[in-house]
Structure 1
Amino acid sequence: MRKQKLLIWVAVILIVIGGLGSLLTFKSVFAAEQIKEEKEFDQQDVRRFHVVSDNASVEFIPTEDSTAKVEMTASEKRNNKYTFHTELDDGTLYIELKEKRLFKLFSFDFSFKGPSIKVYVPAKQYESLNIDLINGKMNVRDMQVKHAEVGSTNGAINLSNMETVSTRATSENGKLTINKVSGEISGDVTNGSIHLNVEQIDRMIDLKSVNGKIMIRTDEEPSNVTIDVSVVNGKSEVFGNETKHTVIGDGENRINLETINGKVSIDKQ
């Protein structure tokens, strides 16, 4: 009996050792090696940005340098999984990160961390910003650009402290947060909430969500707006009043808010 117990314990120890060995081997085989690519461009030559990516987080960061820098960081596992391309053509800085077709068909990424693109932007007014992502979150802050159009199929979008004439943001699955952004604003989300925090709302605002609440917070009460709210399943509150139609002043600036499932709220912060 004692011998049998001893054999059982030996077997258990061997299994544990074998499991640890397999785990270490697994980690070694799939260990992610960090690779980084950088490109720099003279800010005087850059007037527009155009970013396209399959799977990456994208961040625009202000810099005091005189050059715009694009930095791509990715985990590489023995093979070149991504193709990264930057090109400056007639004032437009094109940035593209694509996953190779072979890896799209057979993708087993055990690092659980996708690539990232960081764009360091010198201070000046740019003409346009276009970002098109399939999978990945987006963060743009402290930027002057006339027209911004950004979209993500799966991923949160954060826009903050931006001076624009017009901004359009779309996401199929992901939260949309717009904080301290000037100009006309439109946003369209299928699954996700929309949060707009601004100084004033006397301007054109058009926000739509299928499944998600729409929350607007403003520093100042408006003086010249028409607010129309459409809600199927949820409440609509405009400055503490449960209403779906409000006219303030001459009502020249149109604010349209639509959601099927979710609350709509406009209030002073």
Structure 2
Amino acid sequence: MTNHTVTDHEELAKSLGVHIAPEALRLALTHRSYAYENSGLPTNERLEFLGDSILGLAVTDYLYRTFPDLAEGDLAKLRAALVSTRALARVARTLGIGPYISLGAGEQLTQGKDKDSILADTMEALIGAAYLSTDIDTARRLVLRLVVPLLSDKDAMTAGKDWKTTIQEIAAARDMGEIRYQIADFGPDHHKSFSATLVIGGTEHGTGSGPSKKEAEREAARRTVETLTAGRGEQGDILTLVLDRFGDAESSTT
């Protein structure tokens, strides 16, 4: 891993738009794989635990106040989308967090700096570090500044959607037959990629790819759902509803 200077870390804190004490920032960027290879240094896991709670509270409070007419179940779906691993990883990539994370040799070889799970965990740790370095209101504003824009981002808002369950429900409702995934892998062992083709009742439908079988299957299911429901108005998705009306909700809260 590249050794970043204090100045580099200050630049990162500046991009976050919040003061984070140098030691807290260093800790937030220390993945367990690096700590275990360096005499058991402290890891960012406690900060991640703290940041997760702050993230959940800030997002829940914002959604409750912004969408007073949404039922509890719909609010829960929105919150799940905004705090999902994929959504947080999207934020981390936008901020360029990956290169700053201290990783062990194994994670470096497997491109850990671009793994959704590591990026999302680090974002939560940074939120925790910001809270400890400032106060709850500052940390809350940081969270909202990072995640509220995702409400108008269709890809981000569907990041946490369970597409595999959705396609199962559609296939069952239409009596389409058995669902299975055809999987193929390619690339070197330390950096494999996977592709999946969704087959329903013997007929091939959507295909997808990703860094894991699970991600490839999820993408194949998403594409199949979108194809099968195009123009039919079947999804009734609260995320789509919010995307359609977020502009009005946003303007009413500013």
Q: TM-score range, shorter-chain basis?
A: under 0.3
Normalised by the length of structure 1, the TM-score is 0.23
Which is richer in helix?
A: 2
Larger RCO of the pair (alpha carbons < 8 Å, separation 6+): 2
Normalised by the length of structure 2, the TM-score is 0.24
If you compute each CA radius of gyration, which structure gives the higher value, 1 or 2? Answer: 1
Which is richer in strand?
A: 1
